[in-house]
Chain A
Amino acid sequence: DQQVKQNSPSLSVQEGRISILNCDYTNSMFDYFLWYKKYPAEGPTFLISISSIKDKNEDGRFTVFLNKSAKHLSLHIVPSQPGDSAVYFCAPHGYNFNKFYFGSGTKLNVKP
């Protein structure tokens, strides 16, 4: 039962360029979408979220876009920095049901 898919296991970008991480989901009941970042030997940390009533949410260098009709969301990081190198998980959530899903993650490497 793969409710969430992050089809790119890894991504490599040059410092200063844009990083785009993608996430697809199948359940239309999801209405709140979160991104977490994880460094090695640490637990995930919350990065940014978006509600289904919006199609864009911005926080500094990080922007999340939501396309509900396509059941797709993406995380944009501009400009990318070496400290952004980490694994990024998308985690959709539904207010009306209690299951908590995480994608398999995308490992981002930002090269200096």
Chain B
Amino acid sequence: DSGVTQTPKHLITATGQRVTLRCSPRSGDLSVYWYQQSLDQGLQFLIQYYNGEERAKGNILERFSAQQFPDLHSELNLSSLELGDSALYFCASSVSENQPQHFGDGTRLSIL
């Protein structure tokens, strides 16, 4: 158990819809990261927050947004969903940016 909790585990929705993925980081971790993994590919970094502030951005689409709340949990919002957005979305957390990341078990998003 990594201590990182992601909800929901599975999400099925339709094109054009909007969903919110939630992540609770490991206790004490200030940094939260979001990744997308499509079809047995590598993890693509989306965005990172540190103590509520956006710290780094990767290949995140404009239709996607995220935030980290004062209690350090984070949400990833995906809107105007397309079939290609079907993927596993992982959240990870770490004490600081230069420490190994601890991953949740992911949210599997299926767009029909």
Contact = CB atoms under 8 A, between A and B. Distances in A.
A43 B56 contact: no
Interface residues of B, number: 25
B101 A46 contact: yes
A62 B35 CA distance: 26
Given A43-B105, A95-B98, A100-B33, 5 more contacts: A42-B105, A46-B100, A93-B98, A99-B58, A103-B42
Nearest to B104: A43
Interface string B24-63: 0000000001010000111111001000000110100000
Interface of A: 4, 6, 32, 34, 36, 41-46, 49, 89, 93, 95, 98-105
A43 B41 contact: no
Kindly list the 3 A-B residue pairs having the minimum CB-CB distance in the complex, ordered from nearest. Answer: A43-B103, A98-B56, A46-B100
Contacts of A100: 33, 35, 45, 48, 56, 58, 101
A41 B100 CA distance: 20
24 contacts: A6-B42, A32-B98, A36-B103, A41-B105, A43-B2, A43-B90, A44-B43, A44-B92, A44-B103, A46-B101, A46-B102, A49-B100, A95-B98, A98-B55, A99-B45, A99-B58, A100-B35, A100-B48, A100-B56, A102-B35, A102-B42, A102-B43, A102-B45, A103-B42
